[in-house]
Amino acid sequence: MTDYSGTDIYCDLIIPHRTDGKTTIHIIKETEAILAYYHTKPFWPTHIVVTPKVHVNSLLELDGTLADELLAVVKEIAEMVKTEKGAARVTTNLGEYQDNKHLHIHVNSGDPLR
């Protein structure tokens, strides 16, 4: 996973291999449509990724019930981080800022690690 060089690690590795040992993610919450897990290369001391299990390019293409389901999990994770750490950020990247071309929401807390 560390040498992955594609543009959609979620569809290529994380989602299909989340439970077979080919990835080593620590899942926090999984619903039928949504996966939340600790980032494998965290940028903040607390860094959780929430992503839909079906492919969605970015926030700009998210709608309908999937949007509701994703936001519900994001809120739950964000509340957990806020309660544990006292503060949380919720972000997603678009365009040039988005390295992986599969919608994912970062929930994080603390000062950047690098």
Binding site for Zn ion (CB under 5 A): 8, 10-11, 55, 102
User: Smaller CB distance to Zn ion: residue 89 or 101?
Assistant: 101
Q: How far is the CB of 17 from Zn ion (least distance, A)?
A: 13
User: Smaller CB distance to Zn ion: residue 10 or 44?
Assistant: 10
User: Smaller CB distance to Zn ion: residue 8 or 76?
Assistant: 8
Q: How far is the CB of 39 from Zn ion (least distance, A)?
A: 17
Sheet holding 34-38, edge to edge: 27-30, 34-38, 46-52, 105-109, 89-91
User: Residue 114: which H helix or E strand, with range?
Assistant: none
**Three-class SS state of 69:** helix
The burial of 86, by beta-carbon neighbours within 10 Å (0-12 exposed, 13-18 middle, 19 or more buried), is given as exposed
Q: How far is the CB of 37 from Zn ion (least distance, A)?
A: 15
